[in-house]
Amino acid sequence: MRNARKSRILRAVQPHLVQGEQVRLITGAAVGQVSVKRQIGVGIAVAVVSLGQLTAIAQPRTFVLVLSDRRLLFIDPSALGRNGLDTVALALNLSGLGTRPYRGPSLNKRFDLEAYDMPPLRLNFPLSGRSDAEAIRAAVDERR
């Protein structure tokens, strides 16, 4: 991630940080998973509309992840261009989180983030974000 984008994200997140909270890492990841039903539906719809000329793939939504020393913040990248008041989509305390490795074939780095009061979130990091994925996983497992 470029430094200009990181500084813009830091400015947007700063009002949401607690006094003394420090940002450790900023990265991007796809959050969630797409059902097979939706993948097939999107593929068929696009193929029919384009008469077989195009192919579409349904993917999970991408968020910017900000890891601080206390919390993991999920930021909606589409809200960063606006005034920045509604940028944080989800904030989770590290002490209440755990990780579970993804069991299955994958070229990217994946793991499930588990919180005590919500269903697991699948985090899918691109190839360039493998080291960031390990840093987030280590921080979550360290605070557990």
Task: Answer whether residue 85 shows pLDDT above 60.
Answer: no
Core vs surface per residue 117-143: b (16+ CB within 10 A) or e? eeeebbbbbbeebeebbeebbebbeee
CATH code, 114: 2.30.29.30
Quote the DSSP letter at residue 17: S
Indicate the number of domains in the chain: 1
Q: What is the pTM of this model?
A: 0.82
Task: Answer whether residue 87 shows pLDDT above 80.
Answer: no
pLDDT for residue 84: 52
Output the six-digit token pair for 1.
Answer: 């991630």
Q: What is the pLDDT of residues 11-41, one digit of tens each?
A: 888 888 889 999 999 999 999 888 889 889 9
Task: Answer whether residue 81 shows pLDDT above 80.
Answer: no
What residue numbers bound the domain in which 105 lies?
3-143
